[in-house]
Amino acid sequence: MAVLEILKFPDPRLRKKCAKVAEVNAELKKFAEDMLETMYSFKGIGLAAAQVDRQIRLLVADTRPRENGRYKLEDMTELERAVPQPLVLFNPEIVRKEGKTTYDEGCLSVPTYYETVERFNLIEVKALGIDGKPIHFTTDGLLAICIQHEIDHLDGKLFIDRLSPIKSMRIKSKIKKFGYPDPSHPQDEDELEELLEDREEHRL
């Protein structure tokens, strides 16, 4: 297995629309495993193929609580617990969506930024699993949020596109102008405090 490089906004490759896979072959299976390893090594809970420069409809996710994480077992909903994880989803499709929820989202492609995003609360998903067989489940909680965030990546969309136009523009121009803060050289106390917060497990 290998840890892959993660593209960061404003890389234009993150804006490409991803294509469906025709079949899940051995090479794609191995690639999905590399994506899982990459996601875990950067302490993410989800990763889309677009983020590692491959424009295919594939995402991986694992929202189960981890050691020292903020997300605890009791935070997991019953539906979320019923889905076997880690999840590898080829050609994922949301066939039903219900209700609204909000969450403080982060992203491995937009490091150090966390913003509240509105998503559907419950989703029914159809996809192909790592063995190429159809998967069909309904979930809510953090897993539902994560899957919606990753499917956005497959359509060239980022969570910072889903903020108010003013906020979205402010964040994008700040990153384009100054890049991302360096955790080893925080600019000021506020930034240092933000970087020290235990939010790693919430990057999608």
Task: Name which position in 4, 58, 61, 107 contacts Zn ion (CB under 5 A).
Answer: 107
Which residues between 58 and 87 bind Zn ion (CB under 5 A)? Answer: none
Question: Which residues are CB-contacts of 112 (< 8 A; sequence separation ≥ 6)?
Answer: 180, 181, 183, 194, 195
Asked if 85 contacts 60 with a C-beta cutoff of 8 angstroms, the reply is no
Q: Which of 150, 193, 200, 201 is catalytic?
A: 150
10 Å Cβ neighbour count for 86?
18
Is 204 a binding residue for Zn ion by CB under 5 A? The answer is yes
Q: Which is nearer to Zn ion, 179 or 193 (CB)?
A: 179
How many residues of this chain bind Zn ion (CB under 5 A)?
2
Is 89 a binding residue for Zn ion by CB under 5 A? The answer is no
Q: Which is nearer to Zn ion, 53 or 81 (CB)?
A: 53
Is 146 a binding residue for Zn ion by CB under 5 A? The answer is no
At its nearest, how many Å lie between Zn ion and the CB of residue 109?
Answer: 5
Q: Which is nearer to Zn ion, 123 or 189 (CB)?
A: 123
User: Which residue from 7, 155, 27 is spatially nearest to 91, judged by alpha carbons?
Assistant: 155
10 Å Cβ neighbour count for 146?
27
Is 154 a binding residue for Zn ion by CB under 5 A? The answer is no
H-run or E-run covering 195: helix 189-196
Which of these ranges, 4-12, 20-28, 107-115, 125-133, lies near Zn ion under the rule CB under 5 A? 107-115
Q: Which is nearer to Zn ion, 31 or 113 (CB)?
A: 113
| 150 tagged catalytic | yes
At its nearest, how many Å lie between Zn ion and the CB of residue 132?
Answer: 25
Report the residue count for the chain: 204
- Provide the token pair at 80: 């979320």
Distance CA 156, CA 171 (A): 18
At its nearest, how many Å lie between Zn ion and the CB of residue 184?
Answer: 23
Asked if 101 contacts 78 with a C-beta cutoff of 8 angstroms, the reply is no
Residues annotated catalytic, as ranges: 150
Question: Which residues contact Zn ion (rule: CB under 5 A)?
Answer: 107, 204
